[in-house]
Amino acid sequence: MSQSPLSPVRDLERLNPDIDRIHELAESLLPVYAQIELGEALPDPEQNQALVALIAILHELHPADMAVVLESLPLQERVLVWKLGAPEEDGEVLLEVSEPVRETLIEAMDKAELLAAVDDLDADELAELAPDLPNQVVYEALSTRDEEERAQVAAAMSFADDQVGAIMDFELVSIRADVSCEVVLRYLRRFESLPDHTDKIFVVDDDDILQGVLPIRKLLVVDPDTQVADIMVDDVVVFRPEDDVEEAAQAFERYDLVTAPVVDANKKLIGRLTVDEMVDVIREESEADMLNMAGLQEEEDLFAPVMDSVKNRWMWLAINLCTAFVASRVIGAFEGSIEKIVALAALMPIVAGIGGNSGNQTITMIVRAMAMGQMTGNQAMHLLRKEEGVALVNGLIWGSVMGVVAWLLYGSLGIGLVMVAAMTLNLLLAATVGVLIPVAMDKMGRDPALGSSVLITAVTDSGGFLIFLGLATIFLL
């Protein structure tokens, strides 16, 4: 006899919200947005059917999926969908969405809705949202918490966004080393549920000084009469609240951690880090590097107002315009050469293009190495020599290929040789600046990825034109 599938199981198909369907329903309801009240039917049967269908879809979504939906909708539809979502999950959704989208959602909520949204959040979650909330909402939300929770929120908010203390979780389970595993198991049964991602129990002394950890997998299989001190692990990866979150995320990846303790200067246990926060850090750092390399100043709401997007993008476009002007003046300086040898105009973009592509490859490798902690200042010269070696080999190979092509096309051996030399020299230039730009940015305390793609393209364009047209002027005219 066949068994019916279990409806609560969330397979891959259910994990991907039907954004197109939600967009279609929300768009159809925009004309009657002002008439929509939760729990009340709309006069028009078709619109009411769309409303019921939309609410049913939204209330089935996980908060993380709801966040994806909200980030994928234009502003008016986003506000409508946010209004129709499950209110008891508002706080979790606000934690999941990007900061620009979070701002638009908070603007659409009144004080009572915001207080209800944050009411069930833990201290560390409230601290994460607090900078985006109105001060009065934060004050009233804290007034309902006990003294310990208020102190935890204040502690988390005292750290910068890129420090471990800003994202540490205060929910944890700790025990003493001088008790048996049977006592620990009885203690755990008193909890309604353990904190999320509990893979280990922290062992502390009477002053909450960290002594080690007891992995749950050991606790479940060991003799109940065994003392915690006999099986606990004392070689533990620990973090300080002042540590950099990106370095902490790298440690989680390196050591396959699920949780890790956070201790103060006296080794007193004050919180823990969890893998879900570290995954968010890795994703956010990756997105930030990608945006910075493209010259975007900050994360941008996909459906932000035009002027907001303009403000976010203008600076590096202005820089790019200046560098393009420099490249045009380089070409202008060799107008006479181009008039005499028209083939130069057709071959110039090839030299600049391959230089830009090679430079972007180099700079991507260097920025990634810096982000992964694989590169220090002492290694910069070694990597510079290595990248120049790669550029030299590629330049000779592909320069020779294009040299032969140019010779066959234009019947001039001189043009072919200039092509080989120009491509090789431009690739060497690209490799050099591809290493030096992120290193210089890092030395100045800036993000190594910031505008790197724009800068490398500017250098290889201007440099490529100068090298190619300069060599052609010297040797062909």
Q: Over the stretch 39-57, which tens digit does the pLDDT of each residue have?
A: 678 888 898 999 999 999 9
pLDDT at 425: 95
Cβ neighbours of residue 269 closer than 8 Å, sequence gap 6 or more: 172, 174, 202, 204, 208, 209, 210, 261, 262, 263
Show the domains of the chain with their CATH numbers.
14-161 (1.25.60.10), 174-274 (3.10.580.10), 306-476 (1.10.357.20)
Integer Cα distance of 440 and 224 in angstroms: 58
Find, among 439, 423, 404, the residue nearest to 472 by Cα.
423
Find, among 317, 289, 234, the residue nearest to 448 by Cα.
289
Integer Cα distance of 467 and 450 in angstroms: 27
pLDDT at 14: 59
pTM listed for this prediction: 0.72
DSSP type of residue 258: S
Integer Cα distance of 304 and 239 in angstroms: 38
- Read off the pLDDT of each residue in 102-123 and give the average, rounded to a whole number: 92
pLDDT at 12: 52
pLDDT at 309: 72
3-state secondary structure of 115: helix
Other CB atoms within a 10 A radius of the CB of residue 220 amount to 9
Please compute, for residue 148, the number of CA atoms within 13 A of its CA located in the half-sphere on the CB side: 5
- Read off the pLDDT of each residue in 297-310 and give the average, rounded to a whole number: 71
Integer Cα distance of 249 and 392 in angstroms: 36
pLDDT at 345: 87
- Read off the pLDDT of each residue in 138-158 and give the average, rounded to a whole number: 91
DSSP type of residue 262: E
pLDDT at 457: 85
Please compute, for residue 121, the number of CA atoms within 13 A of its CA located in the half-sphere on the CB side: 28
- Read off the pLDDT of each residue in 101-112 and give the average, rounded to a whole number: 92
Residues 117, 118, 124, 130, CA torsion sign: positive
Q: Which of 10-19, 234-243, 456-465 has the highest mean pLDDT?
A: 234-243
- In the structure encoding, which two tokens stand for residue 194, read together? 């353990």
**Angle at the Cα of 193 from the Cα atoms of 188 and 199, rounded to 5 degrees:** 70
